[in-house]
Structure 1
Amino acid sequence: MTKALIVIDVQESFRARPLWRTVDNPDVVEKVGRLVDAARAAGEKVIWVIHEEPGTGGTFDPVNGFVRVVDDLKPAADEPLLVKNVHNAFTGTDLQHRLTVAGVRSVTVCGLRTEQCVETTARVASDLGYDVTFAIDATATHPIPHWDAPADQTVEELLADPRTLAAEDVSTRTRYALAGRFATIKTVAEIIGE
């Protein structure tokens, strides 16, 4: 086996937040599901990663019940579910070991958020020598507040602030940052050959 699909942070934690209604790609879960189905059909390794922030009291705190793969998707019994608490799926997990043992040299990354955990994982994977495909339409993000915006800003205030970086601009920036340097950017249709 030389290929693996890494599904990053496609978890209920995001859908439980008010910010979810601003997501730039409402079809992200369906697109991730198509990648998972195609990887399974091809006999490729599928690895699930979720993010937790114990003790924070938020939607990423495991005690609140949202730190789980979205209810629409289910890891198969032989598919590992790794838990991380940093922005990439390698640090603090045994992901690299699992990929090495399986003989994986090529990874496709997808999930939430485009510019954060998915992009960071793509960059680290590239630095580790993997051939990386970034499934751009199987990722999603939200508008990003200006660095001077109050931490307790509401969604309405975020959207009304002219300094807010639009989600579309975030995704575009990720494409520019990764393409030709850290990853090949492809759509789900291109990856699965539709």
Structure 2
Amino acid sequence: MNKALLVIDVQESFRRQENWAAVSDPDIAARVDELVAHARSEGDLVIWILHAEPGSRTAFDPALGQVRLIDGLAAAEGEPVITKTSHNAFTTTNLQQLLTERGIRELVISGIRTEQCCETTTRLAADLGYGVTFVIDATATHPIEHRDAPAGRSLAEILADPRTLSTDEIIARTEYALSVRFARIATVKELTGS
């Protein structure tokens, strides 16, 4: 085994936010579950990563109970569950040590948010010398407001603003930015054959 599937931030915290109504793939857990089943059948390690913001009093504050895998997903015995406090999965965790100890040189990336934690982890992993496959349809994201947008707008106002980047635009941009430079881009079907 020299390959690991990273499942990044597929957690209840996101489903508790208003913008979940505009997520690119509300069934992201189903696609991730396909990847997990495939990885397990191949004997690859599955590593679950959660994002926490202790003391924030948001859905990412572990004290509020939402920093857990989305209902329906579960780590199997022996699969590490790591909690991070940075955007990438390396900086505030022992992920690199874990990968090194197990001789893992290839990573498969899935999770929430496509352009944020998933892309940032991919870039850093590539810089660290890992071979990376970014599973574009096993990531999900939300529309992004323009930098000059006023704070505190409703989801409807955000979506109505022509300067807001759509989820399709974000996913396409990520695919273009990562392809060849940082990762091989693949789909769930391409990886699993299903």
TM-score between the two structures when normalised by the length of structure 2: 0.98
Mean CA deviation greater in 146-155 or 94-103: 146-155
Where 2:92 maps in the other structure, the secondary structure is coil
CA–CA separation in structure 2 for the residues paired with 1:72 and 1:135:
20
Contact 2:20-2:26 within 8 A present in 1 as well: no
1:130 lines up with 2:130 in the alignment? yes
Provide the residue aligned with 2:74 in structure 1: 74
RMSD of aligned Cα (Å): 0.8
1:20-169 residue pairs with structure 2 within 5 A? 20-169=20-169
Q: Which amino acid aligns with 1:158?
A: I
> What is the aligned residue count?
194
Q: Which amino acid aligns with 2:58?
A: G
Mean CA deviation greater in 113-122 or 62-71: 62-71
CA–CA separation in structure 1 for the residues paired with 2:117 and 2:109:
10
1:166-177 residue pairs with structure 2 within 5 A? 166-177=166-177
Runs of 4+ in 1 over 3 A off after TM superposition: none
User: 1:26: how far off?
Assistant: 2.4
CA deviation string 1:158-182 (max 9, x = no partner): 1111111111000000000000100
TM-score between the two structures when normalised by the length of structure 1: 0.98
CA–CA separation in structure 1 for the residues paired with 2:163 and 2:67:
31
CA–CA separation in structure 2 for the residues paired with 1:179 and 1:143:
22
CA–CA separation in structure 1 for the residues paired with 2:57 and 2:152:
15
Structure 2, unaligned runs of 5 or more: none
CA–CA separation in structure 1 for the residues paired with 2:34 and 2:48:
14
Q: Which amino acid aligns with 2:69?
A: V
Structure 1, unaligned runs of 5 or more: none
Mean CA deviation greater in 23-32 or 164-173: 23-32
Q: Which amino acid aligns with 1:141?
A: T
Q: Which amino acid aligns with 1:11?
A: Q
Where 2:169 maps in the other structure, the secondary structure is helix
Q: Which amino acid aligns with 2:37?
A: D
User: 1:150: how far off?
Assistant: 2.4
CA–CA separation in structure 1 for the residues paired with 2:153 and 2:47:
34
User: 1:55: how far off?
Assistant: 1.2
Q: What percent identity do the matched residue pairs reach?
A: 55
CA–CA separation in structure 1 for the residues paired with 2:3 and 2:56:
35
Where 1:108 maps in the other structure, the secondary structure is strand
